[in-house]
A and B are shown apart, each in its own frame.
Chain A
């Protein structure tokens, strides 16, 4: 995905929030304007009052104190309300828009040609952390109207006292912004990038290691791993410190110094004006500098935003499945390539093996000869390993990947499960499956009794039983059978089973054989079965032995 696409995605996500965002911007402008006025008018009021006080009773009575004093109170209230509006609306718009972006990016990941390439830790880093970085950009949007309103009103009030002072203030505000723009990238880009990288690394490694917790406990590896992780954490903290320091240098340095300079400068330059107006101008100029705060911080945060965008681009940079084009296979016949040499070294007599819809092929061969890889490629999950595979006579690489995937119901060797309930895992197969259908599939897969016993008596038992993180609470055999049941629930012409009976005792395996046979007869689906266990291979009429290719396909 190019940056333009990403920007488009952002823009679309902001669309529904536009009104809220406008509310935030308007509130911000009001807040800045009122802040400047509040300070200035208070000073003017005080000074005027002091002079009137010195002038005697007549002057005091001539001095209109009602309007300014009421105005001061009104402005105090207005400022509070508009600040709240700015913050609330700004954050609301940003958070809702980014929630949409997160969902869309995940959908984008799911469209990748090679979904196996994603590491969970890395992807989640980008989906969580880098998108949060974009939040800053949206939240800071109201900073521009705020700076404009504050700056312009400050300059206008100063002009009441002296045009020169107003010009000087305008120049000062401009210089502050220019310096911020010029020095932010120099001071902040690198730390921002280091921070994002270190955080991403830390998270990715943590995901990787935490998956290995049994090994970590068994081998007492935790201290050694902590040393590795602490290095990333150190990098992260160092970058964070550098970033915070750089931001303070720019923001506090410019704004605090700037306010002092503005006050001194305006006081010095407005020599000819009346004292009340001078005080008004001095305080208003300080307020004007202060109102740049949001914009200055926004410019600085660009470093973080840029880093986030760049990292997201890399995530989106994967090749995705194209929606249109390609041959649309129906799965009438499948041709699998055979290696020229069998893995035992003998010359094979054929180059490929072809089976027709509804046939059952068993694949055997010693561990490591590439059976799993072949089946995953056939299922459309390993596009790079698909050479030589043909469906309906067309090479798989010429077929539309979505249509290829829709031909096969795969129960993979690693029997990957979702962290969810038994039902959640089964319903991945199809939406809207009734409980009865789920139980039927579980019966066929010989898992129904196990599931009935799971959490029996508790309210989250049976289909609602939580299978643990990635199925960690199920035994190896139960995972395989749940994965098998899931494959039975999706109505497709071919069933691909990779070692489905591993971890089963003989009796259960025999039962599974009978039930699968019935199921296949009833549904008329074809079967490709990888197994090391001879019992289950009795299902198959055709055999493909990678260790003995001379006898293939009989």
Chain B
């Protein structure tokens, strides 16, 4: 299938040969006074033109189909990596999304246009040169000879273009990142009256992307122009040679004497000889973009691969932090050593910015442990089985546009409505569901607008409850809550969390006091 589109383009070249033959023959026949047979030739010509059009349509179809399956493969590679990338690792969310969506779409032209043409650009001209040889061996030689500077020019432009295309892609990603980021921060920007400054910054960024795109295009167009130039020059060379041959004015002894039909045949074929390469040249931008996109996408390779451990966490585990150090690019946290006993609640206390959240993230592999290790149930490397088997309530609670039920169900997609509602009521969301009169169908947007800070915490806790996992990781479950609500949540955790391993980070002394163990980082 991969090569099917290439062969279709070869058939296109064969049609070109037939078309040229029809036309040349009709001119030859007029010259030799056989005009009466021309209508037959002309209807043949129309028929071939029709077939050729059909072939071209099929080629586009096959190319697009190939692109579709290729893109699906890339998506399977990139998406898990983007969806599971630690928030602290990302430069900007919008950049990652641009990679996952736009860079994959950038591959479309590469697979649909460039790839099939790359093969056809070599094979089809040879086919045409072969067809031209019986009519004029010299013209055929002229065509083949001009292939060499052609290929040379293309290779030369290629290296410079690749660099420029990469830079452009980076700038494009950054721009997407900026757009997403600044739209997210709109309330802050507007609140501070920073519209003008942000607007100028973004205008500069859009201009920067435009300038970079232009420099990429300039190289692509220049390569195209080089190729077109050689193509045009060779066509002219063929035309002049044939003309002088017909006139008998060649300055060298010609090995052949052409008839008008032969000369016309070669002349009409000459542009067709270069057509596949010109098409390739036109798809040159697709190539640059596609290759630069692939290079960016390859950086995700391996990042999102799920560990092949079918093991499941069946009982509450013990977690041991063994001189764990966590490193972001230039920030180091730790080393910390402590144990979270199985089936009990451990509170992690430390001043703000000390690394509590990072330690919780490290358990899930969302923060990189640079030294030391986190050991699960005394077994090294066992940590990899955790994702998917824990209850998690992070500091910032993520929302998707949809109902309250949809948002809670994220934790267990197969949960039925009753289970979801039960979890919601258990954590104290019943009041919200009743007050707004929509129950669990209450619609939420991407910001979770309309929910108070406390209600957000409760949605996260409802997820934990619904998941019913033996290990809970909770980051400041009572932040933004008033004392009474915090106490409620504390009681809830003690009750529902009984018999589970719970590691919670908190500043709340009352909550910490309820825990079976208290670890103070210092």
In the complex, are the beta carbons of A46 and B57 less than 8 A apart? no
In the complex, are the beta carbons of B246 and A214 less than 8 A apart? no
Residues of chain A lying within 8 A (CB to CB) of residue B268: 283
Residues of chain A lying within 8 A (CB to CB) of residue B463: 215, 219
Q: Does B252 contact A (CB under 8 A)?
A: no
Q: With A and B bound together, what is the CA distance between A372 and B482 in angstroms?
A: 13
Q: Which of A107, A123, A217, A371 contacts B195 (CB 8 A)?
A: A107
Q: For residue B184, which residue of chain A has the nearest CB?
A: A120
Q: Does A350 contact B (CB under 8 A)?
A: no
Q: Which of B79, B229, B365 contacts A217 (CB 8 A)?
A: B365
In the complex, are the beta carbons of A49 and B244 less than 8 A apart? yes
Within 8 A of B (CB), among A26-68: 38-39, 42-43, 45-47, 49-53, 60, 63, 65, 68
Mark each residue of chain A from 169 to 196: 1 if its CB lies under 8 Å from any CB of chain B, else 0.
0000000000000000000000000000
Q: For residue A447, which residue of chain B has the nearest CB?
A: B353
Using A217-B84, A468-B90 as known contacts, say yes or no to A417 and B217 having CB atoms under 8 A apart.
no
Q: For residue A266, which residue of chain B has the nearest CB?
A: B42
- A442 to B: closest C-beta gap in Å: 13
In the complex, are the beta carbons of A240 and B64 less than 8 A apart? yes
In the complex, are the beta carbons of A103 and B27 less than 8 A apart? no
- B399 to A: closest C-beta gap in Å: 8
Q: Which of B45, B68, B306 contacts A264 (CB 8 A)?
A: B45
Q: Which of B57, B61, B267, B351 contacts A241 (CB 8 A)?
A: B61
In the complex, are the beta carbons of B68 and A106 less than 8 A apart? no
In the complex, are the beta carbons of A282 and B23 less than 8 A apart? yes
Q: Does B115 contact A (CB under 8 A)?
A: no
In the complex, are the beta carbons of A221 and B75 less than 8 A apart? no
In the complex, are the beta carbons of B186 and A109 less than 8 A apart? yes
- B454 to A: closest C-beta gap in Å: 3
In the complex, are the beta carbons of A215 and B410 less than 8 A apart? yes
Using A119-B446, A217-B366 as known contacts, say yes or no to A80 and B229 having CB atoms under 8 A apart.
yes
Q: Does B34 contact A (CB under 8 A)?
A: no
Q: With A and B bound together, what is the CA distance between A513 and B98 in angstroms?
A: 43
Within 8 A of B (CB), among A196-231: 199, 202-203, 205-222, 224-226, 229-230
Mark each residue of chain A from 463 to 493: 1 if its CB lies under 8 Å from any CB of chain B, else 0.
0011011101111111001000010001000
Q: With A and B bound together, what is the CA distance between A416 and B53 in angstroms?
A: 57
Residues of chain B lying within 8 A (CB to CB) of residue A379: 191
- A73 to B: closest C-beta gap in Å: 5
In the complex, are the beta carbons of A245 and B61 less than 8 A apart? yes
Name which of B79, B179, B191, B306 has the most chain A CB atoms within 10 A of its CB. B191
Using A72-B240, A107-B199, A213-B83 as known contacts, say yes or no to A418 and B182 having CB atoms under 8 A apart.
yes
Q: With A and B bound together, what is the CA distance between A236 and B35 in angstroms?
A: 54
Q: With A and B bound together, what is the CA distance between A428 and B391 in angstroms?
A: 37
In the complex, are the beta carbons of B179 and A118 less than 8 A apart? no
Residues of chain B lying within 8 A (CB to CB) of residue A199: 101, 105
For the complex, count residues of A whose C-beta is within 8 A of B.
Answer: 170
Q: With A and B bound together, what is the CA distance between A369 and B105 in angstroms?
A: 46
Among B334-342, B356-364, B375-383, the stretch in contact with A: B356-364
Within 8 A of A (CB), among B177-208: 177, 179-195, 197-199, 202-203, 206-207
Residues of chain B lying within 8 A (CB to CB) of residue A460: 330
Within 8 A of A (CB), among B452-479: 452-455, 463, 467, 473, 475-476, 479
Q: With A and B bound together, what is the CA distance between A470 and B178 in angstroms?
A: 11
Among A146-154, A246-254, A304-312, the stretch in contact with B: A246-254
Residues of chain A lying within 8 A (CB to CB) of residue B93: 120, 207, 210-211, 419, 469-470
- B182 to A: closest C-beta gap in Å: 7
For the complex, count residues of B whose C-beta is within 8 A of A.
Answer: 172
- A101 to B: closest C-beta gap in Å: 9
Residues of chain B lying within 8 A (CB to CB) of residue A381: 187, 190-191
In the complex, are the beta carbons of A110 and B353 less than 8 A apart? no
Among B117-125, B231-239, B317-325, B491-499, the stretch in contact with A: B231-239
Q: Does B221 contact A (CB under 8 A)?
A: yes
Q: With A and B bound together, what is the CA distance between A366 and B452 in angstroms?
A: 10
Within 8 A of B (CB), among A92-113: 92, 95-96, 98-100, 102-103, 106-107, 109-111
Mark each residue of chain B from 83 to 111: 1 if its CB lies under 8 Å from any CB of chain A, else 0.
11111101111101110111001001000
Residues of chain A lying within 8 A (CB to CB) of residue B446: 119-121, 207-208, 211
In the complex, are the beta carbons of A233 and B351 less than 8 A apart? no
- B189 to A: closest C-beta gap in Å: 6
Residues of chain A lying within 8 A (CB to CB) of residue B63: 244
In the complex, are the beta carbons of B400 and A367 less than 8 A apart? no
In the complex, are the beta carbons of A475 and B354 less than 8 A apart? yes
Mark each residue of chain B from 357 to 401: 1 if its CB lies under 8 Å from any CB of chain A, else 0.
100010011100000000000000000000111111011101111
Q: Does B311 contact A (CB under 8 A)?
A: no
Using A73-B233, A92-B214, A226-B80 as known contacts, say yes or no to A120 and B244 having CB atoms under 8 A apart.
no
Residues of chain A lying within 8 A (CB to CB) of residue B449: 116
In the complex, are the beta carbons of A46 and B233 less than 8 A apart? no
Q: Does A364 contact B (CB under 8 A)?
A: yes
In the complex, are the beta carbons of B61 and A215 less than 8 A apart? no
- B38 to A: closest C-beta gap in Å: 7
Q: Does A76 contact B (CB under 8 A)?
A: yes
Residues of chain A lying within 8 A (CB to CB) of residue B411: 215, 219
In the complex, are the beta carbons of A532 and B189 less than 8 A apart? no
In the complex, are the beta carbons of A102 and B206 less than 8 A apart? yes
Q: For residue B190, which residue of chain A has the nearest CB?
A: A115
Q: Does A410 contact B (CB under 8 A)?
A: yes
Q: Does A163 contact B (CB under 8 A)?
A: no
- B22 to A: closest C-beta gap in Å: 8
Q: With A and B bound together, what is the CA distance between A469 and B97 in angstroms?
A: 13
In the complex, are the beta carbons of B92 and A469 less than 8 A apart? yes
Q: With A and B bound together, what is the CA distance between A224 and B72 in angstroms?
A: 16
Q: Does B277 contact A (CB under 8 A)?
A: no
Q: Does A261 contact B (CB under 8 A)?
A: yes
* 24 A-B pairs (CB sep. < 8 Å): A42-B235, A50-B259, A60-B247, A68-B243, A77-B229, A96-B214, A124-B94, A202-B101, A211-B93, A215-B410, A217-B84, A219-B388, A236-B105, A245-B57, A252-B53, A253-B53, A275-B260, A367-B485, A368-B452, A405-B191, A410-B191, A416-B184, A466-B91, A505-B507
Known: A50-B258, A213-B84, A370-B452. 11 other contacts (CB 8 A): A38-B235, A38-B236, A50-B260, A75-B232, A206-B101, A214-B392, A248-B57, A264-B46, A368-B432, A369-B452, A499-B453
